[in-house]
């Protein structure tokens, strides 16, 4: 008999950590862009392993979203982060509604 703790949850990529350089390439930005945003506290849940920054797949999505907001709307980084926060919260709320069968 299986225990609930033995059942994997989430997507296979949730626990995937990507190096800063790979995330920068995926976002079409220089690694310095990401480092500035990290230093300014615009990314949460970051991990530095052996002096190398690692991004979760959620962090990658956030970086892409922020870069798009900065590029398309000429938004300052802080505004892009705030809008990204709001969009991420909307995504979480929509997911909760779907799980509850309300959409």
Beta bridge partners of 13: none
The pLDDT confidence band at residue 27, using thresholds 50, 70 and 90, is very high
Element (H, E) at 85: helix 77-99
DSSP-derived secondary structure letter, 23: H
pLDDT, tens only, 73-92: 999 999 999 999 999 999 99
At residue 81, the 3 state secondary structure works out as: helix
User: Structure pTM?
Assistant: 0.79
Question: Maximum CA pair distance of the chain?
Answer: 56
- In whole angstroms, what separates CA 96 from the centre of its chain? 19
Enumerate domains of the chain plus CATH numbers: 14-99 (1.10.1660.10)
């Amino acid at each position: 008999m299986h225990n609930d703790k033995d059942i994997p949850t989430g997507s296979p990529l949730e626990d995937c950590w990507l190096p800063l350089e790979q995330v920068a390439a995926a976002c079409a930005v220089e690694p310095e862009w990401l480092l500035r945003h990290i230093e300014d506290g615009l990314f949460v849940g970051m991990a530095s392993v052996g002096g190398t920054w690692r991004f979760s797949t959620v962090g990658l999505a956030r970086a892409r979203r922020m870069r798009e907001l900065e590029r398309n709307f000429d938004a300052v980084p802080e505004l892009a982060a705030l809008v990204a926060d709001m969009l991420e919260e909307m995504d979480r709320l929509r997911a909760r509604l779907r799980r509850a069968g309300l959409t």
